[in-house]
């Protein structure tokens, strides 16, 4: 039984492969060092340069040209005119600059020099690779000379000569004549880069570096051990051909009886040398030497002799030895369900590498996991919303009750006449608070589809009672406030009537006084005006001044009379005023809800309308993705319960996303 968190599980399986077979392979062991004794025509020792007098000496400085360069220097030192062909990078080497000191050397460079060779007089030697030198017979030497001339005059691109401080390269000057093409039958010939050995391979000794193995079966074939052409090599091996290889730096070779040929490597051209009957046996000795590699087919892996060997298989980049155990890591395997995880295996496993004696397959079982992007299921949201509404409504009920308690205290203190009524409100308020406390201890989601409607009904009752309590409080306060206002307005009216009646007699007396004074002034004015008509100049001046003063006094007396009459009229109207009650304006900011301040309205819907018909899962979390429900559990001990809940909710049981 699995325990702990649910996560990926690594598993493995081991197979033995000692009896497995390789269809084809190159098998390489420790290379035996072949012994060699110089022959007459094929040697590994350069020998001494033959004295040629003043006859020109021709030198090809191809790859591995150290010996040829030494021969060049020897001939030049002996006074010969030396003509050399070198590759594009020649003269950059310090050793090459020794040639600069030689008296008469003309060097031309061309894109590629096919070989290293020295031609002096009728003697010629050709370096074929692997440190071997072929001494050419006169016919071959003449053909080599013609080949040299063709390369020198037709193919060279730059030239320089010895004798200066450095080689000053200049474009090769135009040739002074045409050099005939070297005939196809020539003993030495520079041929296109795709040239191949031309002799009949049947029964021959062959050494081939590039291209395809021959179609015909030679007696012994040296072919580069490697990944290619195993099918053809297998056919040859099956036909009895010894297929061998040792990298000795030799060119393509073929010897068949008294004939043979050498085909030197090259990217721009290849030098072919047709061997004489004397040269062929000596070259054949090269090809009879022991090999480092042997090509075989249908080999059993577990042979004791193969333990230390190197195998080069078809298509592989390099040779390798046997591998004691190969670890094969199989891609992750998804389990169909959480319960299937312990028994899940890959449907298939890759083949082991051919050289593995044992193979260990290893894979990881991945439990079913909730898909990335899966969201919370709607059922969970609905229950959560119901719980949140439940909580919010209870909070508001509590707030209303707390506010009602404050109002009750304030009203009781303001209106002493309501003290007895307030005691009744207090009892009602205490009962409602107790019910709210009881409901806050419960949740609709915990009650489930069966219990949730009853709880919601209780909550609605509490909300109604709280609302009624608040309404009653408001109405009691309103009535007390109106009575108080009426008494206040009546007292003010009575005060105004009493004051008017008290002031009227004084105002009427003041009016009579003012009217008499106005009459006296008017009479005096008329007298002055009469006197003015007969007065002399000096008196007239005084009378005029007096007339003006009296006119101003009369105007002021008229204004005073008018004012007093207006005041008397106003006092008379005030004394005759009748009482009329004016209700106070309704308090501002009060909600216009019929239910009263802060009291929630009762839900018009039925209490059970929003209650989901499924209960929440007892374990795990319920999520959904593309219409599929997933029940996510974290640990293996939730597996049994989770399977039941998943079944109830039609959900798939899965591990977390990061399992």
Q: Parallel, antiparallel, or unpaired: how do β-strands 57-61 and 123-129 relate?
A: unpaired
Torsion of CA 419, 421, 427, 431, to 10 degrees: -130
175/526 with CB nearer another protein: 175
Q: Does 79 bind another protein (CB under 8 A)?
A: no
Q: Does 19 bind another protein (CB under 8 A)?
A: no
CB of 76 to another protein, least distance (A): 14
Q: Where is 11: in which H helix or E strand? A: strand 9-16
CB of 122 to another protein, least distance (A): 13
Distance of alpha carbon 126 from the chain centroid: 63
CB of 274 to another protein, least distance (A): 15
The single residue among 70, 106, 504, 525 that binds another protein, judged by CB under 8 A, is: 106
The single residue among 100, 179, 289, 504 that binds another protein, judged by CB under 8 A, is: 179
Burial 41-76 (b: 16+ CB within 10 A, else e): bbbeebeebbebeeebbbbbbbbebebbbebbbbbb
Q: Does 76 bind another protein (CB under 8 A)?
A: no
Contact pattern for another protein over residues 581 through 620, marking x by CB under 8 A: ----------------------------------------
101/551 with CB nearer another protein: 101
Q: Does 149 bind another protein (CB under 8 A)?
A: yes
Query: Can you name the residues that pair with 295 across neighbouring β-strands?
Result: 26
Contact pattern for another protein over residues 128 through 147, marking x by CB under 8 A: ------------------x-
CB of 225 to another protein, least distance (A): 38
- CA 448, 454, 457, 459 dihedral sign is negative
Angle at which helix 378-414 crosses helix 444-534, to 10 degrees, equals 40
Q: Does 192 bind another protein (CB under 8 A)?
A: no
Residue 342: helix, strand or coil by DSSP?
helix
- Give, in degrees to the nearest 5, the angle at Cα 117 between 111 and 123: 145
Q: Parallel, antiparallel, or unpaired: how do β-strands 356-366 and 323-329 relate?
A: parallel
Q: Does 194 bind another protein (CB under 8 A)?
A: no
User: Which part of the chain contacts another protein (CB under 8 A), choosing from 33-41, 159-167, 317-325, 439-447?
Assistant: 159-167
CB of 156 to another protein, least distance (A): 11
The single residue among 45, 89, 177, 324 that binds another protein, judged by CB under 8 A, is: 177
181/498 with CB nearer another protein: 181
**DSSP state letters, 484-498:** HHHHHHHHHHHHHHH
CB of 180 to another protein, least distance (A): 4
Task: Tell me which residue of 441, 428, 372 sits closest to 400, measured CA to CA.
Answer: 428
CB of 285 to another protein, least distance (A): 34
What are the strands, taking DSSP E only, across 506-561? none
CB of 162 to another protein, least distance (A): 8
Q: What is the residue whose two structure tokens read 């580069």?
A: 224
Q: Does 78 bind another protein (CB under 8 A)?
A: no
What's the CA gap between 100 and 108, in Å, rounded? 13
27/72 with CB nearer another protein: 72
Q: How far is residue 32 from each of residues 42, 283, 318, 436, 594, measured CA to CA in Å?
A: 21, 19, 21, 103, 115
Judged by CB under 8 A, the chain residues 28 through 67 that form the site for another protein are: 56, 58
82/287 with CB nearer another protein: 82
User: Which part of the chain contacts another protein (CB under 8 A), choosing from 160-168, 495-503, 528-536, 638-646?
Assistant: 160-168
106/535 with CB nearer another protein: 106
Check residue 98 and report its DSSP letter.
G
What's the CA gap between 187 and 129, in Å, rounded? 19
The single residue among 183, 257, 566, 587 that binds another protein, judged by CB under 8 A, is: 183
The single residue among 26, 83, 222, 390 that binds another protein, judged by CB under 8 A, is: 83
120/136 with CB nearer another protein: 120
Residue 97: helix, strand or coil by DSSP?
helix
CB of 116 to another protein, least distance (A): 19
Q: Does 430 bind another protein (CB under 8 A)?
A: no
What's the CA gap between 331 and 481, in Å, rounded? 87
Number of C-beta neighbours around residue 343 at 10 A: 10
Task: Tell me which residue of 295, 217, 359, 222 sits closest to 23, measured CA to CA.
Answer: 295
143/338 with CB nearer another protein: 143
What's the CA gap between 627 and 615, in Å, rounded? 19
The single residue among 1, 37, 45, 184 that binds another protein, judged by CB under 8 A, is: 184
CB of 163 to another protein, least distance (A): 6
Number of residues lying near another protein (CB under 8 A): 27
Q: Does 173 bind another protein (CB under 8 A)?
A: yes
96/155 with CB nearer another protein: 155
Q: How far is residue 271 from each of residues 127, 135, 141, measured CA to CA in Å?
A: 11, 15, 13
Q: Does 268 bind another protein (CB under 8 A)?
A: no
Query: Which residues make up the interface to another protein (CB under 8 A)?
Result: 56, 58, 81, 83, 104, 106, 146, 148-149, 152-153, 161, 163-164, 173-185
């Amino acid at each position: 039984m699995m325990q702990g968190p649910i996560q990926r599980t690594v598993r493995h399986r081991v197979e033995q492969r000692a009896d497995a077979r390789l269809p084809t392979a190159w098998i390489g062991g420790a290379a035996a060092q072949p012994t060699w004794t110089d022959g007459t025509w094929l040697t590994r020792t350069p020998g001494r340069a033959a004295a040629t007098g003043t006859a020109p000496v021709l030198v090809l400085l191809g790859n591995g040209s150290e010996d040829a360069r030494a021969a060049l220097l020897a001939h030049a030192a002996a006074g010969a005119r030396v003509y050399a062909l070198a590759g594009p990078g020649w003269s950059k080497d310090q050793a090459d600059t020794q040639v600069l000191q030689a008296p008469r050397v003309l060097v031309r460079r061309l894109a590629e020099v096919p070989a290293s060779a020295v031609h002096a007089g009728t003697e010629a030697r050709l370096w074929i690779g692997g440190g071997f030198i072929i001494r050419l017979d006169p016919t071959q030497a003449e053909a080599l000379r013609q080949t040299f001339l063709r390369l020198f005059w037709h193919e060279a691109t730059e030239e320089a000569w010895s004798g200066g401080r450095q080689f000053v390269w200049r474009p090769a000057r135009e040739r002074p004549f045409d050099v005939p093409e070297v005939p196809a039958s020539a003993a030495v010939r520079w041929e296109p880069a795709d040239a191949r050995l031309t002799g009949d391979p049947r029964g021959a000794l062959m050494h081939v570096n590039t291209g395809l193995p021959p179609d015909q079966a030679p007696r012994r074939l040296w072919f580069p051990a490697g990944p290619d052409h195993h099918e053809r090599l297998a056919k040859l091996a099956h036909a009895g051909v010894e297929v061998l290889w040792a990298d000795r730096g030799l060119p393509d070779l073929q010897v068949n009886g008294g004939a043979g040929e050498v085909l030197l490597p090259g990217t721009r051209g290849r030098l072919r040398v047709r061997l004489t009957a004397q040269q062929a046996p000596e070259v054949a000795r090269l090809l009879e030497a022991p090999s480092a590699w042997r090509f075989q087919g249908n080999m059993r892996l577990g042979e004791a002799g193969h333990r230390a060997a190197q195998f080069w298989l078809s298509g592989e980049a390099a040779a390798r030895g046997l591998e004691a155990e190969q670890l094969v890591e199989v891609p992750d395997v998804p389990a169909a369900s959480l319960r299937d995880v312990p028994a899940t295996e890959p449907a298939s496993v890759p083949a082991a590498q051919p050289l593995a004696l044992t193979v260990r397959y290893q894979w990881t079982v991945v439990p079913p996991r909730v898909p990335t992007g899966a969201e919370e299921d709607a059922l969970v949201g609905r229950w959560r919303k119901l719980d949140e509404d439940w909580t919010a409504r209870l909070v508001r009920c509590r707030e209303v009750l707390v506010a009602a308690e404050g109002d009750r205290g304030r009203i009781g203190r303001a209106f002493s006449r309501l003290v007895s009524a307030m005691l009744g409100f207090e009892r009602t308020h205490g009962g409602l608070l107790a019910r709210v406390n009881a409901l806050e201890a419960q949740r609709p989601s915990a009650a489930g589809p069966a219990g949730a409607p009853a709880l919601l009904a209780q909550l609605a009752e509490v909300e109604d009672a709280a609302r009624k309590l608040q309404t009653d409080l408001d109405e009691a306060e309103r009535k007390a406030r109106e009575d108080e206002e009426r008494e206040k307005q009546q007292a003010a009216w009575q005060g105004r009537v009493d004051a008017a009646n008290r002031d009227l007699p004084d105002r009427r007396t003041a009016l009579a006084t003012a009217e008499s004074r106005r009459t006296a002034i008017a009479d005096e004015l008329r007298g002055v005006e009469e006197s003015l008509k007969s007065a002399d100049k000096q008196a007239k001046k005084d009378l005029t001044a007096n007339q003006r003063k009296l006119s101003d006094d009369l105007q002021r007396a008229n204004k005073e009379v008018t004012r007093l009459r207006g005041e008397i009229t106003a006092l008379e109207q005030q004394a005759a005023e009748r009482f009329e009650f004016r209700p106070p304006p309704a308090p501002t900011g009060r909600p216009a809800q019929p239910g009263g301040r802060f009291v929630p309205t009762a839900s018009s819907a039925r209490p059970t309308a929003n209650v989901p018909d499924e209960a929440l899962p007892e374990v795990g979390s319920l999520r959904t993705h593309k219409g599929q429900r997933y029940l996510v559990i974290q640990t293996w001990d939730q597996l049994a319960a989770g399977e039941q809940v998943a079944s109830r909710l039609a959900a798939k049981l899965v591990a977390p996303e990061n399992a």
